[in-house]
Amino acid sequence: MAEKLSAVKGMNDIAPPASAHWEWLEDTLRALMRRYGYRNLRTPIVEPTALFVRGLGEVTDIVEKEMYSFEDRLNGEQLTLRPENTAGVVRAVVEASMLYDGGKRLYYMGPMFRHERPQRGRYRQFHQFGAEALGFAGPDVDAELIVLACDLWAELGLTGIELEINSLGQPAERLAHRQALIAYLEGHADQLDEDARRRLHSNPLRILDTKNPAMQDLVNAAPRLMDHLGAESLDHFNRLRALLDAHGITYRINPRLVRGMDYYNLSVFEFVTTQLGSQGTVCAGGRYDGLFEQIGGKATPAVGWALGMERILELLKEQGLLPEQPTPDAYAVVPDAASVPLVMPVLRALRQVGVSVQMHAGGAEGMGSMKSQFKKADASGARFALIFGSDELQQGMVAVKPLRGPRPGEAGTDLAAQALQPLADVAQWAERLRGA
């Protein structure tokens, strides 16, 4: 036998029954986005490496060490499997001049790739759902996006997700803060860990984000970006806060909240939970007014967020909120293999009018005993068995037998009531089979 092949480390197959949970989450997301007027944008998974180097910033974790980059063997192009999709969205929007007639609200979902150490809630191929509002200066759309996420948690039934917000101000304000921060950290050089020393001059803001317990006192007392914000930035932030208050949304201002990507300004936010161990950020985003220019477009305000679908599903599981597996409405029991050519077209007609029905599939020797077929019917979770006995078929009929009681809120189904139904007119009785 040939050597077995396995999936790449940190990249997972999503198979039944889990895939049904994914589909359900995706459906919920799509329906919610429709209500908020966001439309779907699908961009390629492979982008020019330069897009991320320019868009995310050279000294970010992603660009420094997490990207799957390679050279196209055939033409030498430098390419990267997208580690996130905001840069790709902006590229696509600029390329097609999508904002020629005003702002756009867009969403995407799909796989992202980062070479990280795989662990619970952290994979090398993972999936993000993202929402972006492009061409609006806010803070109303900033609030809209946050409210939208809160609605998603409510709709999914999730609890215990907390909102943290901060303002990163504008580049000039960040520069002034950066200088103050570097001076402060240099004054405490003996307390810096190796990572902090490395970042001191390249990306000191990220030092504030450190998880090292030994450095918490140091970063807690560091100069705060918030204290360097000018009137306009503060006003933007305060108006966002007022809008969140108007919705009754509670949040915590976290002055140390900085984001992994360089492109953020003004509003930044994260939704976090304590129920997923150390991978507790389920959704993160902010305003990125500088990104369009950075990748060759004209200056355009924009804001967005991305959520980690694996983490949301994990949290749903943790809270017992995952839906039951979908079951067929009916299972076709076929005692005699010779009847299959008669049976299959009937099942097709049922499916065409919206009934989900599974046929018992036999082996080459036949269909198996009635007993084993009923066992399968029961295991399928179907609410009805359709019994295609030879005698009934000869009369142009099929026996419909309930296997389960009524769904909640449904009129009673008499479990004993087996009824003969005409094959010639499935529409007449299909309604009774069809699930809600």
Under the rule (CB under 6 A), what is the footprint of ligand ATP? 84, 114, 116, 121-123, 126, 128, 260, 279, 281-284, 306-308, 310-311
Distance CA 38, CA 158 (A): 22
Could you tell me if 168 and 174 are in contact, meaning their C-beta atoms sit under 8 angstroms apart? yes
Residue in the structure block whose two tokens are 């983490």: 311
Nearest Cα residue to 309 out of 64, 109, 114, 137: 109
Choice between 11 and 337, CB closer to ligand ATP = 11
Choice between 116 and 392, CB closer to ligand ATP = 116
Choice between 66 and 329, CB closer to ligand ATP = 66
| Nearest-approach distance from CB 41 to ligand ATP, in angstroms | 17
Please state whether beta strands 419-422 and 104-113 pair in parallel, antiparallel, or not at all (unpaired): unpaired
Residue nearest to ligand ATP (CB): 308
Distance CA 149, CA 107 (A): 13
Nearest Cα residue to 142 out of 14, 237, 247, 255: 237
Q: What is the DSSP code string of 284-338?
A: EEEE-TTHHHHTTS----EEEEEEEHHHHHHHHHHTT-PPPPP--SEEEE-S-GG
Choice between 122 and 239, CB closer to ligand ATP = 122
| Nearest-approach distance from CB 377 to ligand ATP, in angstroms | 39
Q: What is the DSSP code string of 211-255?
A: --GGGHHHHHTSPPGGGG--HHHHHHHHHHHHHHHHTT---EE-T
| Nearest-approach distance from CB 239 to ligand ATP, in angstroms | 24
| Nearest-approach distance from CB 183 to ligand ATP, in angstroms | 27
| Nearest-approach distance from CB 309 to ligand ATP, in angstroms | 8
Residue in the structure block whose two tokens are 């803001």: 205
| Nearest-approach distance from CB 57 to ligand ATP, in angstroms | 13
Could you tell me if 145 and 267 are in contact, meaning their C-beta atoms sit under 8 angstroms apart? no
Choice between 278 and 395, CB closer to ligand ATP = 278
Choice between 59 and 342, CB closer to ligand ATP = 59
| Nearest-approach distance from CB 202 to ligand ATP, in angstroms | 17
Single-letter residue type at 375: K
DSSP bridge partners of 271: 163, 283
Choice between 148 and 387, CB closer to ligand ATP = 148
